[in-house]
Structure 1
Amino acid sequence: MKAEYINPFLKAFDNVVGQLIFVKSEVGNIFVKEGTKKSGHVVITIGVTGDLVGSVVLSMNEDTAKWLASKMMFGMEVTEFNDMAKSAIAELGNMIAGNSSTYFHDMGQKIDITPPTLYTGDNIEVFAYKSKTLCVPMKVENHTIEIDVSLG
């Protein structure tokens, strides 16, 4: 998988997180996942079609999702991952998808991105039909959000 397919999502993540919670993210150690992998308790999936086809999955644990939702809601403490917190995290996925779409357009890639879908629960398994997925852990303060990109 080419880095140019991954960078728009990383730039979008960094841009959105920077604008929403005024914190800079950093890239962790990138690695490859193959086949079905367990994911965090909170998962956002984004489908990609057009010149590139595949999916992008953002996953995190529930504490990270509550922390992000709290930051997105101007510091209102989120103690339960309820519908309002889920809505905030889903909107985070929507903003990242929209920003990345713009970056792809600027590169001359014609793609369509599906509206993000939010899943929550224990033992969520994600299967990338492209078989190999590049996982990019993004660190924000002391939290990690994994961005799994499977495009071709």
Structure 2
Amino acid sequence: MEAKFVNPFLSSLLNVLSTMAQLELKPQAPRLKKDEVARGDVSGVIGMIGPMTKGSFSISFDKSLALEVMHRMLGERPKDINDDVTDMIGEITNMVTGGAKRILADQGYEFNMATPIVVSGPSHTIQHKTDGAKILMPFTSEYGIATIEICFAK
């Protein structure tokens, strides 16, 4: 998978969490993902389709990081992942994908976005519906790890 498809999602995630939650994440080394197990406690997943490409994007958060983002964005501090937290993760997924969509449109790649699906729980899975390589990229913070996955069709 080419960096021109991955980098817009990375920069969009950093921008969304910096702007909306005043939270800085540190990108770690990307790698290929070989399984379907999510690398967090709650994940937002969104499909994308356009005339030149199709794919999916997900972002998974450790529980501690998701709760901290909830506190910073909405002033609420739930003790556990609840409906409000999953709604917020869906919105973050939408915002990150929307930001990447704008960047990719400037490069000539148009696509439509589906409605995000949010999944939570220990060892939940994420199924990307395309046959391309799955790129996994973790981001660290003092509150936990966020991990994005990007998969575009071959």
TM-score relative to the length of structure 1: 0.89
SS at match of 2:140: strand
1:18-38 Cα deviation digits (max 9, x unpaired): 10122332211211112x321
Instruction: State the Cα RMSD in Å.
Output: 1.6
Structure 1 unmatched runs, 5+: none
Alignment check: 8 A CA contact 2:57 2:97 kept: no
Q: How many residues align?
A: 150
1:55 maps to amino acid: S
Residues of 2 paired with 1:98 and 1:144: CA distance? 22
Q: Secondary structure at the match of 2:29?
A: coil
Q: Which has the higher strand share?
A: 1
Counterpart of 1:47 in 2: which secondary structure? Answer: strand
Unmatched 5+ stretches in structure 2: none
- CA distance in 2 between counterparts of 1:137 and 1:90 reads 19
Tell me the secondary structure at the aligned position of residue 38 of structure 1: coil
- State the identity as a percent: 22
Correspondence for 1:137? 138
Report what 2:126 is aligned to.
Answer: 126
- Give 1:66 shift: 1.4
CA contact 1:97–1:116 (8 Å) conserved in 2: no
Contact 2:133 2:152 in 1 (8 A): no
* Equivalent residue, structure 2, for 1:26: 26
TM-score, normalised on structure 2? 0.88
The residue that corresponds to 2:48 in the other structure is 48
In 1: Cα distance, 2:19 partner to 2:43 partner: 21
* Structure 1 contact 43–119 (Cα < 8 Å) conserved: yes
Q: Is the 8 A contact 1:133 1:149 kept in 2?
A: yes
Distance 1:131 1:151 in 2: 5
In the alignment, the residues of structure 2 paired with residue 59 and residue 15 of structure 1 have an alpha-carbon distance, to the nearest angstrom, of 17
SS in 2 for 1:126: coil
Q: State the 1:147 CA deviation.
A: 0.5
2:58, 2:93 within 8 Å by CA — same for their partners in 1? no
